[in-house]
Amino acid sequence: MRKNRQATTSPLGTNGLNRRSFLGLVGISAVALSTAGVLTACGNGSSKAQVTSSLGLADSVAKLVPSYVPIDLVTPDIASVNGSTPGFISIPETLVKSVTEVPGKGGKYKAMTPAWWTVPPALANNSYYQAVNKAIGATVDFQVNDGNTYGDKIQTVLASPKDVPDWVVIPSWNLPPRFGQAVTSVFEDLAPYLSGDKIEKYPNLANLPTAAWKFSAFAGGLYGLPYPSTLITDAIFYRKDIFTELGLEAPKSADEYLAIAKELTNPAKKRWGSEDVWNGAQIMFGVAPKWKLVDGALQNKVETDEYRAALEWIAKLFASGAVHPDAVAGNLQQSKARFESGASLMATDGLGSWHESLARMLPTNPKYDMVPMDFFAADGGDPTLFRGSPASIFSFIKKNSDKAKIEELLALANYFAAPFGTEENQLINYGVEGVHFTKDSQNIPQSTEKGLAEVTSTYSFLVSPPVVNSKVQYPGYVKTASEWEARQAPFVVEEQFFGLQIEEPNKFGSLNKPFDDLAMDIARGRKKISDLDTELATWKKNGGDELREFYTGFLTA
């Protein structure tokens, strides 16, 4: 499949970053609050505006969500554990057909999507678009926009409803302010078509995870079609090949990490033990993504003991001299290059970076071995891993009084959601064999020049099947990655408010930003841990306590 989140979806072929790996680079794990319902507060209203009981909301969302009817067309070699990504160590030689009839009725639709790569040729000059449209029996004409400025484009389009295309893709991090108000006036509520057993009309859509559907509910309706995400999004990686040469094993506690980082550091050999692993430190110490309930009261992550302990630890790491000097100087953009060259040997990154790195390094360094550590709590005990967002991108269908057109678009979505191992999935992700791709000795699609120019994530952004790992071109990768994720899965928990999508009043938008700068300064010794108390007092005064009251309303209303 074309894209990947922090994990993998299908063989990479030859398209590289501009085709399948963008989500591993844009911080998917940092977007979206949680997964299940929909709560919208006034954009600039009071902290008590439109506060709804979380239990009542969960009940109302449950009535919107489609039934889950899994499809077992192909069996993975490594099964999912508690929601981990299943693995395929080989590509099926024979593909299954999941949609037996042409889904379209001849309709013509405009669709708007982002692209973090060169925009492909338009429909008139794109044989890939033409082939897919022929297969689906309808015309989807894409308006592809620069992903880096897509958020601005979305706001401009929504400001003029008459200009909204028939089908609009919106990444979760591009959802505009007060979207809960806009969605009801611009887009179609799909609950009348998909909720409960109604989804059975669209088997591939019924195969999508329930949590992803819950997260697609907005303002009391089921408005989004989801692009599901992986259970775990980030990891602390180490250079296992170099560790083995030096007779070292991966650390299993925060203290071991410090000791090994110092042992690895040898400036004379231009080698340092670690990159800036602030995100990893928060995982080690079990820092909640946003809120934690302590003795019945909410604490923001920056107020918690875990956050303070993580800050104290990261400061020790930097003070030890084991962090690469360029990372100390704030140059984080080159961290991948430093890690891959062996200049630094431990780093945090999204899981999507793993296979990307293998693709870059294995051709010139066959011994290169980048592996994620098994997660550990700071004291060496079991970790607490907070589940990320269950969907990273949504698509929305414009309001339409013609029920037949809505049903046609949903039939197309069912085709696009065809799972790995199907003819439809291969067409959507690679195009036509012999034209857009050929297959190598491992049965892996390899893009032709035409495929590289024309095939990209467009149809698959409209809705995407469940995530799988089938990147078999990297020896041992699928087995290692899927088994690693399965080992971590039992430690995944849900944060407070997991299951609620809450739109905060605009005035709180940048309230926590000073803590990002403070963490960098404390880590580098420019400020002390006591400065956290000063910043917390300012935070409370500037709206932190009011924000807490806003969220507490969702607990007690």
The arithmetic mean of pLDDT across residues 83-92, rounded, is 94
Which runs of consecutive H residues, i.e. helices, occur in 270-384? 278-284, 305-319, 325-328, 335-341, 352-361
- Examine residue 118 and state whether it is found in any structural domain, yes or no: yes
* CB of 24 closer than 8 Å to CB of 356: yes
The arithmetic mean of pLDDT across residues 363-376, rounded, is 97
Q: What single letter denotes the amino acid at residue 289?
A: P
Kindly state whether residues 378 and 395 are assigned to the same domain: no
The arithmetic mean of pLDDT across residues 309-318, rounded, is 98
What lies within 8 Å, CB to CB, of 330 at 6+ separation is: 520
Rounded Cα distance, 504 and 47, in Å: 9
Rounded Cα distance, 163 and 179, in Å: 17
Kindly state whether residues 413 and 360 are assigned to the same domain: no
393 DSSP assignment: E
Kindly state whether residues 212 and 303 are assigned to the same domain: no
pLDDT at residue number 556: 57
- Examine residue 452 and state whether it is found in any structural domain, yes or no: yes
Rounded Cα distance, 556 and 177, in Å: 25
What lies within 8 Å, CB to CB, of 249 at 6+ separation is: 243
pLDDT at 43 over 60: no
Where residue 134 sits, what CATH number does that domain have? 3.40.190.10
Number of Cα atoms under 13 Å in the Cβ half of residue 59: 5
Kindly state whether residues 27 and 172 are assigned to the same domain: yes
Residue entry with tokens 């973090």: 116
Rounded Cα distance, 469 and 137, in Å: 30
Backbone angles phi, psi at 310, to 5 degrees: -65, -40
DSSP 402-453: -HHHHHHHHHHHHHHTPPTTBHHHHHHHH-SBTTTEEE-TTS-EEE-HHHHH
Kindly state whether residues 212 and 347 are assigned to the same domain: no
Q: Tens digit of pLDDT for each residue in 467-519?
A: 999 999 898 999 999 999 999 999 999 988 876 777 888 899 899 999 999 99
Averaged confidence pLDDT in the chain: 89
Q: Tens digit of pLDDT for each residue in 423-448?
A: 999 999 999 999 999 999 889 999 99
Q: Tens digit of pLDDT for each residue in 185-196?
A: 999 999 999 999
pLDDT at residue number 58: 59
CA 542 distance to own-chain centroid = 31
Kindly state whether residues 408 and 311 are assigned to the same domain: no
pLDDT band of residue 61 (cuts 50, 70, 90) is: confident
Rounded Cα distance, 87 and 481, in Å: 8
Token representation of residue 507: 């005035």
Domain that holds residue 169: 17-231+389-491
pLDDT at residue number 506: 84
pLDDT at residue number 499: 66
pLDDT band of residue 1 (cuts 50, 70, 90) is: very low
Q: Tens digit of pLDDT for each residue in 451-467?
A: 999 999 999 999 999 99
DSSP 455-466: --SSHHHH----
Kindly state whether residues 202 and 330 are assigned to the same domain: no
Kindly state whether residues 318 and 380 are assigned to the same domain: yes
Rounded Cα distance, 379 and 226, in Å: 38
pLDDT at 284 over 80: yes
CA 436 distance to own-chain centroid = 27
Q: For the chain, give the percent of residues with pLDDT over 70.
A: 89
pLDDT at residue number 33: 29
Q: Is 349 exposed, middle or buried (0-12, 13-18, 19+ CB in 10 A)?
A: buried
Backbone angles phi, psi at 18, to 5 degrees: -70, 0
- Examine residue 368 and state whether it is found in any structural domain, yes or no: yes
pLDDT at residue number 57: 54
Kindly state whether residues 448 and 337 are assigned to the same domain: no
- CA-nearest of 322, 184, 330 to 263 is 322
pLDDT at residue number 181: 85
Kindly state whether residues 173 and 244 are assigned to the same domain: no
The arithmetic mean of pLDDT across residues 123-136, rounded, is 98
Q: Is 296 exposed, middle or buried (0-12, 13-18, 19+ CB in 10 A)?
A: exposed
pLDDT at 20 over 50: no
pLDDT at 50 over 70: no
- Examine residue 42 and state whether it is found in any structural domain, yes or no: yes
Kindly state whether residues 262 and 312 are assigned to the same domain: yes
- Examine residue 9 and state whether it is found in any structural domain, yes or no: no
- Of 20-24, 85-89, 378-382, 411-415, the least confident: 20-24
Q: Tens digit of pLDDT for each residue in 350-362?
A: 998 999 999 999 9
- Examine residue 497 and state whether it is found in any structural domain, yes or no: no
User: What total number of domains does the chain contain?
Assistant: 2
Residue entry with tokens 């070699």: 77
- Examine residue 123 and state whether it is found in any structural domain, yes or no: yes
The torsion of the CA quartet 128, 186, 200, 137, rounded to 10 degrees, works out to -30
Kindly state whether residues 278 and 195 are assigned to the same domain: no
- Examine residue 52 and state whether it is found in any structural domain, yes or no: yes
pLDDT at 29 over 80: no
